[in-house]
Amino acid sequence: MSTTRVLIADDHPLIRSGLRALLSRESEFEVVGEAADGYQALELVEQLKPDVVMLDVSMPRLNGIDVAQKITEKTPSTRIIIVSIHSDEGYVLRALKAGAKGYLLKASPEGDILNAVRAVAAGQAYLSPEISRLLVEEYVREMRFRGVEDSYDLLSIREKEILQLLASGATNRQVAEMIHVSVATVETHRTNVFQKLGIHSLPELILYAVRKGLLT
């Protein structure tokens, strides 16, 4: 089994040492470095080429969201988990738009942290279960308050299937291979899903899927 190489970026030494200790207990992970601020994180990503970077959202010199965006532009093969104290949808959406695959609350239990690194290393999207629960509850309240029909029901069975696969982290090509259709067909379905749901980006699609309870 190949080892997942992880870089930890947080300005609090105790957080860094705690994450290092946790990951180092698992033979599947190797912590290759630590960064105390945003610029150092960028330098180490360029030098070490980690598989996964865990980024604190509030770091000195350059915050985690901006670091994520720069990593996505310069080293797109490196996958990113934002670690934050903020659980509101605005922060999560900003992180996903910046290229993060995962969003983890600092208060997360050890099991969730390990699951997040495993999922993101495998190319899947991951949000802390607590965030998912809050988004689902908010969505249910909103639907009841507005008294409107759920736009999800406008989707065909195939569109629902493609929505879930895309939201879980699969690319258009991977979806095409999984359901045995052409990439062009997937792109057409994706466009239809976006139009029917009033969604304009993949990060918004991921959050929609979480709010609907389609992703665990």
Structural domain boundaries in the chain: 4-132, 149-211
Residue-averaged pLDDT of the chain: 91
| Mean pLDDT lowest among 88-92, 171-175, 180-184 | 88-92
Let me know: does 190 contact 161? Beta carbons within 8 Å: no
- Render the burial of 199-214: b for 16+ CB within 10 Å, e for the rest: beebbbbbbbbbbbeb
Q: How confident is the model at residue 146 (pLDDT cuts 50, 70, 90)?
A: low
- Of residues 41 and 58, more confidence is placed in 41
Q: What is the pLDDT of residues 46-83, one digit of tens each?
A: 999 999 999 999 898 899 999 999 999 999 999 999 99
Predicted local distance difference test score (pLDDT) of residue 143: 64
Averaged over 120-135, what is the pLDDT? Answer: 89
Averaged over 32-43, what is the pLDDT? Answer: 96
User: What CATH code is assigned to 4-132?
Assistant: 3.40.50.2300
Predicted local distance difference test score (pLDDT) of residue 148: 55
Question: Hey, which residues does 111 pair with through a beta bridge?
Answer: none
- pLDDT value at 164 more than 60: yes
Domains 4-132 and 149-211 share a fold: no
Averaged over 105-117, what is the pLDDT? Answer: 94
Let me know: does 155 contact 166? Beta carbons within 8 Å: no
Q: How confident is the model at residue 152 (pLDDT cuts 50, 70, 90)?
A: confident
Let me know: does 51 contact 121? Beta carbons within 8 Å: yes
**CATH architecture of structural domain 149-211:** Orthogonal Bundle (1.10)
Averaged over 200-215, what is the pLDDT? Answer: 88
- pLDDT value at 9 more than 70: yes
Distances (CA, A) of 160 to 49, 126, 157: 36, 19, 5
- pLDDT value at 98 more than 60: yes
Averaged over 175-199, what is the pLDDT? Answer: 94
Contacts of 8 (CB under 8 A, 6+ apart): 16, 19, 20, 23, 31, 33, 34, 35, 53, 54
Q: How confident is the model at residue 136 (pLDDT cuts 50, 70, 90)?
A: confident
- pLDDT value at 149 more than 70: no
What is the pTM assigned to this prediction? 0.81
